[in-house]
Amino acid sequence: MSTLPPCPKCSSAFTYEDAGMFICPECAHEWSGEAGAPAETAKVYRDSAGNVLQDGDTVTVIKDLKLKGSGGVIKMGTKVKNIRLVDSDHDIDCKIDGFGAMSLKTEFVRKA
């Protein structure tokens, strides 16, 4: 038994398929078979305060961060300009003056 996707408009589970189209009998919404598949949603990146981050934003470091592999420390209050969001264990790729290319976690920054 195959399961059909719920209606994207009213979330009704009573959908049926007719000629490659999905139809909802409750709200009369029709959509194509390709659109019936769950859409991939883009990951939303949020800073420590819950603000949504985007590529190119400027953020501020909220605590001193010790650097692995060297004795350096990124001080609290350091501004990081033009961030790039990536899907990895560290969400932000950036360049910090005096340190070069870095990867940061969103939990340690606040949108400026």
- The tokens for 31 are 């959509």
Nearest partner of 21 among 32, 11, 37, judged by Cα: 32
Map residue 48 onto helix, strand or coil: coil
In a 10 Å sphere around its CB, with 0-12 CB exposed, 13-18 middle and 19+ buried, how is residue 68 labelled?
exposed
pLDDT at site 45:
92
Task: Report yes or no on 24 lying in a domain.
Answer: yes
Task: Give pLDDT tens digits for 44-101.
Answer: 899 999 999 999 999 999 999 998 887 889 999 999 999 999 988 899 999 998 889 9
Q: Are 6 and 12 in contact (CB under 8 A)?
A: yes
- The whole domain housing 2 covers 1-37
CATH (domain of 2): 2.20.25.10
CATH (domain of 104): 2.30.30.40
Decide if pLDDT at 4 tops 50: yes
Q: Among the listed ranges 4-13, 22-31, 39-48, which one has the minimum average pLDDT value?
A: 39-48
29 and 66 housed in the same domain: no
pTM for the model stands at 0.63
